[in-house]
Amino acid sequence: MRLKPGEQPTRRLAHLWNEAACIGCAACVISCTATNNPEMLYRADEGRGGVASNIRRYEGVTAQGRPTLLLNQCAHCDEAPCMKTCPFGAVYRDENGLVRLDSRRCAGCRYCVTSCPYNARWVHPDTGLPMKCMGRGCLALVAAGQKPACVQACPANARDFGDLNDPESSVSRTLRTKRHRTLLPNSGAKPKYFIVEEV
Amino acid sequence: MSELPPLVFQAPVADWGWQIAWFFWFVAIGGGLAVAYWQVRRAAVAFTVFVATALGLLLVFFHLGRWWNMPLVLWELIRAGEFNLGSWMFLGVIILTVHLLLGALAAYAHAEDVGIYPPFGDRVREMTEGALFRGVFAANGVLSVVYSGFLLTQAHGIPLWGTALIPILWLISSAVAAVAVLELFYVLGLVDERVSVAGMKLALGLDALKLIAVLAFLHVSLTAMSAAARAGAEELVSGSLAWLTWGGVIGLGLAVPILLAALMLRYGKSKGLIAVSAVSSLAGVLFLRASVLLAGAWEPLLG
């Protein structure tokens, strides 16, 4: 359900990734594509390169020579820039606090793509739609009371998903007890994708 | 310092490249000439505003990844009665549509000048000669250029574009483009000598302003807090886009017109040199827009 201006979501669903627990197997990346865009399993995301997934994998090396890994995705920001810039209101927030796309209102201008500080979107080569977390498959899983595909697929329990408004949810408990951060905290977008830094 | 992963530039992902640069270029010409129409009420000016705005809109329409969905988009907007007035792109659609209509009216008023006598031509001509129409037309011209600048500044994912210098640079270069088109009209005999005399001195001043604004944009970006803005500016100054900056924006767009204007002020005017200078200026306006677009990248998330 699309929230009207001024309405507050009843839940604030959020993703959490534990970088200390992650073993970098990419099961979440592949399960995301398999669940949400199975037609892209054997096709690359031509724009960004690599697998066409709503989860993006970045690799680098620190000054000490230590390899470092980042998994990134849509943060369903509380002040989502993509919602503000979309000319036709195709990007909206639902009752669960998720930032979603109404394909009927999307003309494919890709303003949401350039508006996202996290480069979380990729453009589907067949439909021209700007894709991101959460896809249709995961939305169906969440509606059925399950966790999204990436959380279910992770063999190291490095991922979680839950309601920030519920103090007893697993994500709320983790965020209360473990050191964590968000990406580009000064972006002003108030992202809800949390990176936990300790096991 | 950690080893950063390569930057992700927006053009391969969002595809805001040359086609959008051409769109901005047409908007610059249509907007700048609408301001010039306040003084230079000639058929060529009115027709060019209309054609440039129409071409710009056509280019941007067919750049849409889902242009075929526009009827449904419009229906959904009207059905729900929800319009995102906070989006510069939505405002731009309105501003450019109004500009196209105003340009069509101005062109209609000048139909007689090209031997066409449409119905109500006299009335439309009378209306377009009034200060109200010319004022609204000029103001909407400025708005359409400003819109194309703010369109970029509001794209929060691309730090290089997050500066108020872009709308200012777009405005100055739009004025450069309008003067260049008027100079071309003079060469073609479509406007008289007086317009050209004023144009050459104005162009020299505008080129100087544009040079300052371009250098300010590069300096601000090179010293920005954002790594993506710095890297984008480095691409423009010494990287893969340097040819566009030094050859296109500075060389063709500024050095050639300034040099030719200086020569003509010293030794007298030449229609051939005026034409070269005008085409060179117009190319520079296009290259400026393309270079700013192509250098846009996301802030690195890892590092």
Please give the full DSSP string across A128-194, using - where no structure is assigned.
Answer: --EE-SS-HHHHHHHHTTPPPHHHHH-TT--EEEEETT-TTSHHHHHHHHS-EE-SSGGGSS---EE
Residue A77: C-alpha distances to residues A35, A167, A183, B253, B255 (Å): 23, 19, 11, 41, 46
**Chain B residues within 8 A of A109 when measuring between CB atoms:** 63-65, 89
**DSSP helix, strand, coil percent of chain A (3-state; round to 5):** 25, 20, 55
Strands A13-18 and A193-196, bridge-based pairing: parallel
Do B207 and B187 contact (CB within 8 A), yes or no? no
Nearest to A104 among B72, B151, B155 (CB): B72
Angle, alpha carbons A111-A116-A121 (nearest 5°): 80
Residue A36 host element (H or E): helix A27-36
CB contact under 8 A, A106 and B73: yes
Q: Flag if B157 and A62 touch (Cβ within 8 Å).
A: no
Residue A137 lies in a domain: yes
- Residue B237 CB neighbour total at 10 angstroms: 16
The reply to whether A5 falls in a domain is no
Q: Do B66 and A128 touch (CB under 8 A)?
A: yes
Best of B68, B73, B292 to disrupt the A interface by mutation (most A CBs within 10 Å)?
B73
Pick B156's closest partner by Cβ from A81, A89, A108.
A81
Contact A109 B65 (CB under 8 A): yes
Cross-chain CB nearest to B89 (options A108, A109, A121): A109
Tell me what the mean pLDDT of segment B153-175 comes to: 96
State which fold the B12-154 domain adopts.
Formate dehydrogenase/DMSO reductase fold (1.20.1630)
Tell me if A114 and B15 make a contact (CB, 8 A cut-off): no
CB of B162 closer than 8 Å to CB of B48: no
Per-residue pLDDT of chain A (199 residues; tens, 9 = 90+): 888 888 899 999 999 999 999 999 999 999 999 999 999 999 888 877 788 999 999 988 877 888 889 999 999 999 999 999 999 999 999 999 999 999 999 999 999 999 999 999 999 999 999 999 999 999 999 999 999 999 999 999 999 999 999 999 999 999 999 999 999 998 999 999 999 999 8
Hey, are the CB atoms on B14 and A68 less than 8 Å from each other? no
Q: What was the ipTM of the complex prediction?
A: 0.93
- Which one is predicted more confidently, B117 or A105? A105
Q: Is residue A3 part of a domain?
A: no
H-state helical runs in chain B: 10-14, 18-36, 43-63, 70-80, 88-109, 121-129, 131-153, 165-187, 193-222, 227-238, 242, 256-267, 271-294
CA-to-CA dists, residue B6 to B231, B274, B299, angstroms: 10, 44, 10
Measured distance CA(B29)–CA(B278) in Å, rounded: 13
* Residues in contact with B303: Cβ distance below 8 Å, sequence separation at least 6, in sequence order: A60, B2, B3, B4, B5, B227
Per the prediction, chain B carries an average pLDDT of: 93
- Tell me which chain A residues have a C-beta less than 8 angstroms from the C-beta of B302: 58-60, 68, 70
Q: Tell me, what's the pLDDT at B3?
A: 42
- Strand-pairing partners, residue B9, are B297
State the pLDDT at residue B4.
47
Query: Which of the four pLDDT bands, split at 50, 70 and 90, describes residue B5?
Result: low
- Cβ-in-10-Å burial (0-12, 13-18, 19+) of A3 comes to middle
Interface contacts (A, B; CB < 8 Å): 146
B-chain CB neighbours of A110 within 8 Å are 14-16, 65
Cis? peptide before A134, omega within 30° of 0: yes
Q: In chain B, which residue's Cα lies nearest the Cα of A69? A: B302
How far is it, in rounded angstroms, from Cα B183 to Cα B118?
29
> Does residue A123 lie in a domain region?
yes
Best B4, B7, B13 residue to mutate vs chain A (most A CBs within 10 Å): B13
The whole-number pLDDT of residue B1 equals 37
B299: left (phi over 0), alpha (psi -120 to 50) or beta: beta
Cβ of B157 and A114 within 8 Å? Answer: yes
Q: What tokens appear for B196 in the block?
A: 């050209």
Number of domains in chain A: 1
Dist. CA A24–CA A158, nearest whole Å: 10
Residue A189 near residue A38, CB atoms below 8 Å: no
Mean pLDDT over B248-266 rounds to 93
Residue B12 has pLDDT above 90, yes or no: yes
Short-list B146, B159, B95, CA closest to B292: B159
Q: Which helix (H) or strand (E) holds A117?
A: none
Contact assignment for B87 to A70 by CB distance below 8 Å = no
For residues A47 and B250, give the distance between their C-alpha atoms in angstroms, rounded to a whole number.
30
The label of the residue with tokens 């020579």 reads: A65
CB within 8 A of B222, min separation 6: which ones? B230, B233, B234, B237
Nearest CA in chain B to A107: B66
**Six-digit token string for B130:** 């009034």
What does the pLDDT look like over B186-202, one tens digit per residue?
999 998 877 776 777 88
Q: How far is B64 from chain A (nearest CA, A)?
A: 5
| A107 contacts B67? CB cut-off 8 A | yes
Q: Which residues of A touch B158 (CB under 8 A)?
A: 114
User: Cβ separation of A114 and B158 shorter than 8 Å?
Assistant: yes
Residue indicated by tokens 């250029």:
B145
Range of the domain at A142: 13-196
Chain A residues whose CB is inside 8 A of the B296 CB are 114
- What CATH number is given to the structural domain containing A58? 3.30.70.20
